[in-house]
Structure 1
Amino acid sequence: MSEKLNQDNITPTEQPKESAEAIKKDAKGLWENLRKFFRELLDIRTNTDQDATKQAIIADIPFKGHTSWILICSIFIASIGLNANSTAVVIGAMLISPLMGPILGLGMSLAINDIDTLRRSLKNFGVMVGLSVLTAYLFFEFFPLQDESSELLARTAPDIRDVLIAFFGGLALVIARAKKGTIASVIFGVAIATALMPPLCTVGFGLAIGNLGYAFGAMYLFIINTIFIALATFLTIKLLKFPMVRYANSARRRSIARIASVVAVLVMVPAGYTFYKVFQESIFKKQAAEFVDATIAKYQFTGGGRFLNNFTTVEYNEGENPLIEVVCMGNENIPPNIIASWNTMLKEDDDFPRLRNTELHVIQGGQNEQVDQLKYINELYESQKNQISNKDEKIALLEAEVGRLKRIQTKQIPFLDITKEAKANYENLVSLQYGKAIRSDFKKMDTLSIFEPVWKEGLSPSKRAAENKKMLQWLQVRLKDTTVQVRNAQ
C-alpha cells in the first residue's frame, strides 16, 4: 500500500527527466562504442613495423645488377605490349617492374630528414628514368612496326583520374609496406594501377618517331604519378610518426631539416598546381560534354543527316581559345543560324561558365560535297582505326558511312559528257535538263537521277515516248544505274 502511495506521489515532471537522462546515457554509450569500433577498424599504427618498413624501402632503392636487367626486360615487354595494343602484356610487364623503389625512397627520406637516402633515391630515380627511356627508344627505333596503338595514345594526355589513381595507389602501397607481413597482392595491384612503366615507354616511342608532343605528354603523366606517389608516402610516414634521423652535429641536423623541408615544398607545390590544372581541365571537358548533349546531340535532322558523337573532339588549351569540334555526316546540313545560336550559347549561357572563350567547329557534309565527305570519312577512318581497334561498333559505323558515301559517289553524273553524247545520238533533241529528287517509302530514302529531254516541236506523242524509252535504256546502261528516270519537260 505504501509503495503504491510513493508511486502516486511522483510528479509528472520527474518521470520525463529520468527517461531523458537514460536516453542521453544510452546515446553516449553508443557513440563511444562506434568510436572504438572505427578506431580499431581504421587504426594502422598498432600493426606497423617501422624498422622493417624503412629497411624494405631502402633495400628497393638501388638499380644495379639483377634489378637493372629486370627493369630492361620489363621495359621491353611493356613496349611490345603497347606496340601490339595488348593490355594483358602491359599488365604482365608492370608486375615485374621495380620502378616503385626510388619513388618510395624519395617520400620516406623527406618525411624523416634522411639526406643520404634522399641522395640515393634521386640518383637511382634518374638512372631508372634514363635506362627506361633509352630501352624503349631503342626498341621503337629499330622495331619495324611503329603503329600508334590506343594503349600508347592513352598515355599522352593525363587527366584528373590519373592524379587520383597515383595518390591513392601510393597511399595503398606504403600502407601495405608498413604492415607487419607485407601484403604482396596490394603491391602488385598498385604497380598495375599507377602504371609507371607505360608512360616511360611512350616517351621512348615519341622520341623514336620524332613526335615530341607524345614524348612530353607521356613524361608529364609519369611525373604526375611520381609526385603523387611520393606525396602519399610522405604523408603516410608522417602520420605513422616514423622517428626522424638524428645527427650528432646539431648544425648539420638543422641544415638537413631545412633542405628536406625545401625539397618537400618543391614537391608539394607542383603537386598542388598540377592537381588544380588538371581539375580545371576536367571541369571544362565535363561542361563541354554537357553542352554537346544539350545542343548538337538533340538537333533533329529531317533528312539524311547524322551526328557522330563518338568523334567529338574537345581541346583544352590553357591561355588560348579552347575548341569543341563535332562531326555531322549525311545529305543534310545544319543551318548557319542554328550554329550561330550555339556559339551565342557558348558565350552567354550561365550553365556553361567555363566555355566562354571556346570555339565551336561543326564539320558536316553537304549534298554538293559528296566527294569531300568521302575523303574526310576515309581519312577519319584511317586516323582513328588504331585507337578504336577494340570497339567494333565504331568501326561498323565508319564502314557503313564510307559505304553510303561511296554509293553516292557512284551516282555522280558527268553531265557535260552526257549532253554531248545525247546531242550526237538524238537528232530531235533540243535540250536536256538534269536534277536529283529524294524518294521515301517511309522505311528508307533514296536519291533519284531525273533527266528531262525537250524534243523538237511537231514530234508526235508516240515518237516522243519512243525517244524517251530509248534514252532511258541508254542512260541506265551508260551510268550503270537502274534508278535513272526520264520524264517529259514541263
Structure 2
Amino acid sequence: MPFSITHFLRDRFILTADMAEPDEIRTDVEAGVSFRGTNLWVLIFAIVIASVGLNVNSTAAITGAMLISPLMGPIVGIGFGAATMEVPLMRRGLKNLLLAMVISLAVSTIYFYLTPLSEAGSELLARTTPNTWDVLIALFGGAAGAVGLTRRGRGNVIPGVAIATALMPPLCTAGYGLATGQWNYCSGAMYLFFINCVFICLSTFLVVRLLPLPRRTFVDDATARRVRVSIWTLAVLTAAPSVYLAVGIVRDTAFNHNAQQFIEQELIRLPGTYVLTRRIKPEERSLNLLLAGKYLDRPAMAALTRKLPEYGLRRAKLTIRQGMAQLDSATAQALRTNVLEDMRNRDQQAYTEYEARFAQLQQQMANQQLAPSLPNALQVLREAQINFPQVRQLGLSQLIRPATDSLHADTTVVVAVRYKQMLKPAEQQRFSKWLQARLGPRPVLLAE
C-alpha cells in the first residue's frame, strides 16, 4: 500500500479515538454550568483565596484558587451550546456566568475594603494590562480544555487550563480596584476577564464543531447564520483593543531596551562620568539623566544626541543634567530608590555569602564529629605484626562521605598495607576481621 501523507496526518491527529459518549459529555457540561450549592460555595472560597494571594503577593495561593475555581463551567457551556445550537444551554450558561461574576466582584471588593494591606503587588498589577498574548493563551487554553472535556480520561488537562487562562485573579483584581477607587485597575482587569471568557468560549465552539456531536437545527438558516456572525463579531471586537495594547507594550519594551543600551555604551563607559539617575519614559520617548563627575560640554552632548538613531531612538528627547545642583524632587526620589536598591542587592549578596559560609562550617563540624581521631598508625602496625608477621608497612586515613537527600553522612577508614609476603585467602580474611575489630565500628576499606 503506498504511503499517504493525508492518511498519516489523519491517523496522528484524530480527535475521535478516545472521545467520550455524547450524553456523558453533555452531562458534564450541564453539571458545570449550574451555580448553586457546592459550586457556589467553592466559588466563594476560591475568591477569598485568590484575593488573599493577590493581597500578599503569594503565587501559590493564586494558583490554588485557580485550580478549585468553577468559573470555567458556564463559559464552556456557552461555547458548547453555540456549537450544538442549543440556545437554552447558552442562556443558562450566560446567566450563571453573570451571577458568578457579580458574586466574585462583591466578595473580593468586601475583602479588599476590609484588609489592612492596601498596596498593589506585582501579582495584582500583572492583571491590569491585558494584551494579545492573553488572547492567545485564552484561545489555545480553551481549545485544550474543550479537547480534555470531551475525552474518556481527562488527565490533567482541565487543571492546567484553569491555571493558564486565569479567570479568577482578574475578577479579584477588579474587586481591588472597586474597593480602592482605582478605576483603571478595575477596567483593565475586567477587560482581561472578558478576553478570557470570549476566547475560551470561541475555542470551545470551534473544537466542538469539529467533533461528531449531535446538533440541533434552527427553524431557518438566517437564525443560525445570525448566531455564528454574532460569535465571530464579539471575538473580533474583543481582540482588537488587546492588539493595540500589545503593540504599545512591544514598542515601550523596545524603547526601554534601546535606552538602557545607549546609556551603557555611551555614558557609563565615559571616563570620569557617573550616571546617578536615569528616568526613561517610553510614552514620551524621553531620556532624563543626571550625571556627576567630569563635566560634558555642549559639543559632547550634541555628539551624544546624534548617536541616538544608532540605537533605534530616532526622535527621542535626551535631557542631561550635571551636578547635584540640578537635583529636582523626581530625581531625588529616583536617586533614593537607586541607592536603596543598591543597598538591598549588596545586603542580599552578603547574606548569600554568609549562608554559604555557615553551611560550609556546619559541614566541617559534622565531618569532625563523624571523623574521630584515628589511632596511631605505628601502634596499629606493631600490633598487626605480632598477629601477622607478613605485614611490613601500614598506613591509616579517612574517607568522609557528606550527607545527601537519601544517605546519611558516613566515614570509612582506609587501611593501606604492604606485605613481605602475600597472605593466603584465609589469613587475609582473618586480617580484615582483626582490622575491623581494632579500628572500631566504622567501615574499613583494605587497600593492598
Residue of structure 2 equivalent to 1:218: 189
Mapped to 2, the partners of 1:228 and 1:145 lie a distance apart of: 33
CA drift of 1:362 comes to 5.1
Within a 5 Å distance, the mapping from 1:294-333 to structure 2 comes to 295-301=262-268, 302=270, 303-306=272-275, 312-314=280-282, 322-326=283-287, 328-331=289-292
Which amino acid is the alignment partner of residue 211 of structure 2? L
d(CA) in 2 for partners of 1:393 and 1:165? 36
Task: Find 1:375's aligned residue among 329, 332, 343.
Answer: 332
Deviation at 1:152, TM superposition (A): 0.8
SS at match of 2:194: helix
Q: Are the aligned partners of 2:18 and 2:152 in contact in 1 as well (CA < 8 Å)?
A: yes
CA–CA separation in structure 2 for the residues paired with 1:157 and 1:331: 37
User: 1:98 Cα shift?
Assistant: 0.5
User: Contact 1:202/1:214 (CA < 8 Å) preserved in 2?
Assistant: yes
Supply the distance in 1 between the matched residues of 2:174 and 2:320 (Cα, whole angstroms): 32
Unaligned stretches of 5+ residues in structure 2: 350-448
Structure 1 match to 2:44: 72
Q: Which moved more, 1:266-275 or 1:334-343?
A: 334-343
Over 3 Å counting, the alpha-carbon distance change for 1:104 and 1:373 in structure 2 is closer
| CA shift in 2, pair 1:366/1:280, >3 Å | same
Look up the equivalent residue of 2:274 and give its one-letter code: G
Distance 1:241 1:325 in 2: 57
Distance 2:288 2:38 in 1: 52
Q: Which amino acid aligns with 1:298?
A: Q
CA displacement 1:196-254 (0-9 Å, x = unmatched): 1111111000111111011111111111111211111111112224332146xx35xx4
Q: Give the AA of the match of 2:345.
A: A
Match of 2:19 in 1: 48
Cα distance in 2, alignment partners of residues 337 and 52 from structure 1: 78
Secondary structure of 1:331's aligned partner: strand
- Which AA in structure 1 matches 2:120? E
Tell me, yes or no, if structure 1 residue 131 matches structure 2 residue 98: no
| 2:251 matches 1:284 | yes
Counterpart residue identity of residue 331, structure 1: A
Asked if the contact 1:203–1:214 (Cα under 8 Å) also holds between the matched residues in 2, the reply is yes
Offset of 1:324 from its aligned partner? 3.6
Match of 1:244 among 187, 209, 215: 215
Answer yes or no: is 1:268 the counterpart of 2:217.
no
Residue 175 of structure 1 and its aligned partner are, at CA, apart by: 0.7
Q: Which deviates more from structure 2 when the two are superposed, residues 121-130 or residues 278-287?
A: 278-287
Which residue of 2 is the match for residue 234 of structure 1?
205
Gapped runs of 5+ residues in structure 1?
1-27, 315-321, 386-391, 401-490
Where 2:267 maps in the other structure, the secondary structure is coil
Inter-partner Cα distance in structure 2 for 1:88 and 1:43: 36
Of 191-200 and 105-114, deviating more is 105-114
2: CA distance between counterparts of 1:187 and 1:97? Answer: 11
Q: Distance in 1 between matches of 2:186 and 2:343?
A: 28
In 2: Cα distance, 1:135 partner to 1:366 partner: 52
For residues 257-302 of structure 1, what are the alpha-carbon distances to aligned partners after superposition, in whole Å with 9 as ceiling and x for unaligned? 2442243133222144245324433542354245325533422332
CA distance, structure 2, for counterparts of residue 199 and residue 210 of structure 1: 16
TM-score by length of 1: 0.61
2:370 corresponds to which residue? none
- Deviation of the 1:170 alpha carbon: 0.7
Q: What residue is the counterpart of 1:403 in the other structure?
A: none
1:157 positional shift? 0.9
Q: Which residue pairs with 2:429 in the alignment?
A: none
Provide TM-score, normalisation by structure 2.
0.67
- Classify 1:132/1:370 alpha carbon distance in 2 versus 1 (closer, same or farther; 3 Å): same
Distance 1:123 1:376, change over 3 A: same
1:106 equivalent in structure 2: 78
Match of 2:130 in 1: 158
How far apart, CA to CA, are the structure 1 residues paired with 2:322 and 2:257?
Answer: 24
- Amino acid aligned to 1:288: F
Instruction: Return closer, same or farther for 1:371/1:293 CA change in 2, 3 Å cut-off.
Output: closer
The answer (yes or no) to whether the contact 2:277–2:334 under 8 Å persists in 1 is: no
Quick check: 1:169–1:194 contact (8 Å CA) kept in 2? Answer: yes
1:381 to 1:212, Cα distance in 2 relative to 1, 3 A? farther
Kept in 1, the 8 Å contact 2:130–2:242? The answer is no
Q: Which residue of 1 aligns with 2:323?
A: 366
Q: Is the contact made by 1:108 and 1:234 (CA closer than 8 Å) also made in structure 2?
A: yes
Q: How many residue pairs get matched? A: 345
1:157 is paired with a residue whose SS is: coil
1:331 shift after superposition: 1.3
Deviations 1:179-203 (A, max 9, x none): 12222x1111111111111111110
Look up the match of 1:179: 151
Contact (CA 8 Å) 1:115, 1:260: kept in 2 or not? no
Contact 1:307/1:327, CA 8 A, preserved across alignment: no
**Percent identical across equivalent pairs?**
33
Q: Which amino acid aligns with 2:325?
A: N
* Residue matched to 1:396: 345
Q: Kindly tell me: are residues 161 and 337 of structure 1, through their superposed partners in 2, closer, same or farther at Cα, counting changes over 3 Å?
A: farther
- CA, structure 1 residues 272+142, in 2 after alignment: closer, same or farther (shift >3 Å)? closer
Distance 1:179 1:64 in 2: 26
Question: Would the alpha carbon gap of residues 54 and 327 (structure 1) be closer, same or farther in structure 2, given more than 3 Å must change?
Answer: farther
Q: Shift of the alpha carbon at 1:110? A: 1.7
Residue of structure 1 equivalent to 2:373: none
Measure, in 1, the Cα distance between the counterparts of 2:260 and 2:287: 11
SS of 2:325's partner is coil
SS in 1 for 2:104: helix
For 2:134 and 2:248, the matched residues in 1 are separated by 13
Q: What residue in structure 2 maps to residue 190 of structure 1?
A: 161
Give the RMSD, CA atoms, in angstroms.
Answer: 3.6
* Greater displacement, 122-131 / 255-264: 255-264
Change (3 A) 1:365 1:39: farther
CA contact under 8 A between 1:113 and 1:244: conserved in structure 2? yes
Indicate the residue corresponding to 1:433 in structure 2. Answer: none
User: What secondary structure, in the 3-state scheme, does the structure 1 residue paired with 2:61 have?
Assistant: helix
Structure 2 residue identity aligned to 1:396: N
